[in-house]
Structures are given as C-alpha cells and as structure tokens.
C-alpha cells in the first residue's frame, strides 16, 4: 500500500474527513514523507517547524532545509523558536522538555493557521520501539497502548501503520536528501538503543500489540467507571471503597495518580504493585515526587505531599451577558463577552466562537462540575472535561479556577484554554462573539 493510500485509509478509519492540517516537519525523512504525501493528496496542509537550537549550526541548517523544501513544494511554513528554558529541562530532562515545548509551539501554530489537526510523522517502527521501551521499563496496560493514532488535543499520526523502509523508499524516489539528526546515534538515549534492538524483532507484530492494548484499555476503562466511587477534588482523592479485584484496584490507583500528577510518566508496574501491597497497612507512603498516600480512620487518601486533606471545592456560577463585564469574586477575575462581526479565529487569550444565526444569546459562566464534557477543537467527538484538562497538562490545583462559558447547557469555551469544536468560527452565517478574562493581579 502506498503512503497516500495509507494516509487516506487513516483519515477515513478515524472519521477525520479532509481537514486543514498543520504538518510537523523537522526535516528528517519521516516528516518529509508526511509533508509530501499530504500535499500530493491535495490535503489543505501547512507546515510547522520548531527549532530547539540544541545542535548549534545543525539545527539552523535543519530549519533552512525545511524552508527550501516548503518553498519548492509550494506549502506555507510557520517557524517557531523552541529554545528550552532551564527550569523545563530540570523538570523533564532535555528530551522531555523538548517534547513538551515542541507540542506547545505546534498548538500555537495550529491556531494561527486555522488548522483542525497537527500531523506528526510517527510510523510503525516508532510504535514498535515505544512498545518495547514500555515493556522494558515495566509499564502496565496503559503504557503498552504506545503512540496514540489520534490524541485528544488534535494530534494525529497518519503514517503510524507504515514501516520505516517504505517511507525511506518513498523519499528516495523523490530525489530528496533529508536531514539526519546526529543525536539519533547517541546510545545514551534509551530510544536509540531500542532502535538497534528492533532490527531483530517483528516490528509489525510489536506495533499490532499496541492496537490490542488500546482495545483492552477501553474495556478496562468501562469497568473502572463502574467501581470508581472516589471523592475527587483538585488536591486529593478520597477512596471511600476499593475494589476487591487486584487488577481493578491497581488501575483505579493509577487513574487517580495520573489525575493528580499528569507528569508521573515514570510510574512502573512494579511501583503500582508496591503501592497496592501497602494499602492495608500504610500510615503514609510516598507515591510520586508530588503525591503521597495516607490512611485516616480506615480511609485511604491520595494527596499532594505539601497539602492536607481536601478542602471544600471552590464553586461559582453566574449569568453572562454580552457587553456586561461579569466579576467572579472567588477567583478575583472578570469575564468579558462582546459580539463581533468579522470571521477571524481569535487567540487563546481572546477567544472567538460562533452560535447559530437565530440563537438566544443567554450564557452562563461557571467552573467545572462532575460529569462535564467538552469537545476539543479539531476533535470529532466530546470527552470528559477532566480528561481534557489532563491532556492539556493543566495543573490540578488550578482547574476549579478556570471559567467555563456555557450556552444551552453545553460548554462553549474553556476560557483562556480552548473553544469547543462545535462553536468554532466558520464561513456559515451565525452570531460571533469574543470572550476574554481579566485577572485582578495582571
């Protein structure tokens, strides 16, 4: 199957249509193939390049290569500075920091370009390497799902089922010499070591196991919802009961660890087993760098180490009318809403959205409630709001302070973060609004 056929099948399998796409282009062979394939298919594509400046002149030459490539192909290119702040490196390491910042910059470029999705060039060998790495580090079922073909934040991987050899052959046929990242030869990085190992394994079989893990995880999530009666707040989880089944107990603990500490990537199956083994006898147990488990009156509480037992949740709910600033005392902020007439898409800080032409402009501004759902920009379905917050890596302690704009009972905007796909600005006739938040400390 050609790269074009594989890409079209991917778009159809995931019901993505033929959207405007921002392609992440590093200059390497995979991203070059992705860009050329999308362009050849007639997809409305914009290229995005993030220069981390980690390899000196090599990084600048990568950027120049991408500029020339896009000019020759006739594709619009957006370039962003990806210099890494020292504090981000301290928290995540160089690879993790680069990944965090790269996706943040790509999301900004996606908004500027008015694209629905960000396409990255992860392919079948990348998937196999990821699964093998997760197995080596003792990951559970969640980790074995590997690289997700469609992420909740609008990132898609159209070439995920295509072997590396086919991609390299495609680029050779174009008579293009892509860039090579010299750091890929540095065996101090785990992935580079694993890449050498995968030469001797069945890559397609390893990649296929990720699909099987995702299917199993979906069923596990359904069962977990049935037994999860924990009292969850932004700073803690109180487990009123825990399931007798050990596998469900482990999965429930992991769910709430991820909720309270989304950065806990290094949690292994051995760690989870240790935690569950100690649940019956603990007084206090460190879980991650940020979290601990404590037992009070035979109730198990997962909490931030610097915090106490959960405080009463912050709540607010007020009517929001166009051209009438609404002050929210609990968060010391004012929400502004005004009608607009042009069709620009706005920014993260000053969001714009669209209602049907004859819609009643009655809005509510409030913070999150249990069961809230939201359809992220570019996603064809809605999801739990708490999962959206986790995907966007929004700190747990700030989530109750974020205003939600609702119309007709539906979340239109997570203020300062994202508007809903259902209400994005389109060419169709409708009522358009701009919303922004002013904080008193700004």
Contact 351, 434 (CB under 8 A): yes
3-208: CATH, from 3.40.190.10, 3.40.1440.10, 3.40.50.300, 3.40.50.620? 3.40.50.620
Query: Quick one: which of 326, 259, 334 has its CA closest to 290?
Result: 259
C-alpha distances in Å from residue 324, one per residue of 189, 221, 363, 402 = 54, 43, 12, 19
- Pairing, β 45-51 against β 77-81: parallel
Q: What is the per-residue pLDDT for 12?
A: 94
pTM for the whole structure: 0.60
Q: What is the per-residue pLDDT for 310?
A: 41
Q: What is the per-residue pLDDT for 228?
A: 85
Contact 167, 29 (CB under 8 A): yes
Question: Residue 83: CB partners within 8 Å, gap ≥ 6?
Answer: 52, 53
| Whole-number Å distance between alpha carbons of 234 and 399 | 7
Can you give the residue ranges of every domain in the chain? 3-208, 228-304, 317-439
Residue pointed to by tokens 């166009």: 322
Cβ–Cβ contacts within 10 Å for residue 351, how many? Answer: 27
| Whole-number Å distance between alpha carbons of 131 and 206 | 7
- How confident is the prediction along the chain (442 residues), in pLDDT tens digits per residue? 799 999 999 999 989 999 999 999 999 999 999 999 999 999 999 999 999 998 889 999 999 999 999 999 999 999 999 998 888 887 777 888 888 899 999 999 999 999 999 999 999 999 988 888 777 766 667 777 888 899 878 899 999 999 999 999 999 999 999 998 766 655 555 666 677 666 667 888 888 888 888 887 777 778 878 888 888 887 888 888 888 888 888 888 888 888 888 766 667 778 888 888 888 777 888 888 788 888 877 788 898 876 444 444 578 899 999 998 898 888 888 999 999 988 777 787 889 999 998 888 899 999 998 889 999 988 888 899 988 988 887 876 678 889 999 999 999 999 989 999 999 988 888 899 999 998 764 3
């Amino acid at each position: 199957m050609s790269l074009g056929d594989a890409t079209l099948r991917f778009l159809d399998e995931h019901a993505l249509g033929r959207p405007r796409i921002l392609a992440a282009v590093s200059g390497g062979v995979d991203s070059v193939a992705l860009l050329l394939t999308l362009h050849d298919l007639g997809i409305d594509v914009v290229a995005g390049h993030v220069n981390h400046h980690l390899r000196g002149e090599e990084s600048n030459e990568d950027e120049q290569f991408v500029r020339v490539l896009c000019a020759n192909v006739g594709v619009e290119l957006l370039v962003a500075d990806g210099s890494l702040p020292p504090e981000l490196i301290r928290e995540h390491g160089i690879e993790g920091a680069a990944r965090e910042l790269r996706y943040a910059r790509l999301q900004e470029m996606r908004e500027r370009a008015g694209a629905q999705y960000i396409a990255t060039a992860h392919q079948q060998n990348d998937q196999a390497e990821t699964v093998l790495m997760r197995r080596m580090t003792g990951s559970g079922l969640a980790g074995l799902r590997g690289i997700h073909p469609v992420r909740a934040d609008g990132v898609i991987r159209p070439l995920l089922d295509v072997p590396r050899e086919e991609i390299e052959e495609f680029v050779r046929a174009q008579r293009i010499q892509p860039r090579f990242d010299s750091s890929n030869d540095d065996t101090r990085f785990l992935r580079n070591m694993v890449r050498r190992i995968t030469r001797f394994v069945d890559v397609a079989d390893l990649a296929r196991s990720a699909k099987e893990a995702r299917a199993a995880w979906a069923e596990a999530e359904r069962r977990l919802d049935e037994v999860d009666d924990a009292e969850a707040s932004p700073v803690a989880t109180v487990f009123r009961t825990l399931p007798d089944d050990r596998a469900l107990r482990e999965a429930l603990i992991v769910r709430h660890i991820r909720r309270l500490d989304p950065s806990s990537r290094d949690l292994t199956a051995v760690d989870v087993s240790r935690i569950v083994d100690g649940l019956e006898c603990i007084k206090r147990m460190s879980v991650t760098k940020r979290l601990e488990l404590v037992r009070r009156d035979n109730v198990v509480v997962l909490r931030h180490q610097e915090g106490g037992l959960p405080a009463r949740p912050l709540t607010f709910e007020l009517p929001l009318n166009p051209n009438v600033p609404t002050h929210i005392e609990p968060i010391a902020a004012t929400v502004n809403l005004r009608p607009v007439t042009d069709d620009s898409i706005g920014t993260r800080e000053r969001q714009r959205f669209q209602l049907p032409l004859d819609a009643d402009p009655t809005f509510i501004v409030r913070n999150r409630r249990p069961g809230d759902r939201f359809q992220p920009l570019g996603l064809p379905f809605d999801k739990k709001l708490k999962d959206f917050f986790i995907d966007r890596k929004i700190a747990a302690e700030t989530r109750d302070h974020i205003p939600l704009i609702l119309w007709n009972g539906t979340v239109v905007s997570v203020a300062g973060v994202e508007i809903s796909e259902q209400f994005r600005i389109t060419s169709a006739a409708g009522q358009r609004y701009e919303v922004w938040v002013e904080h008193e400390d700004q």
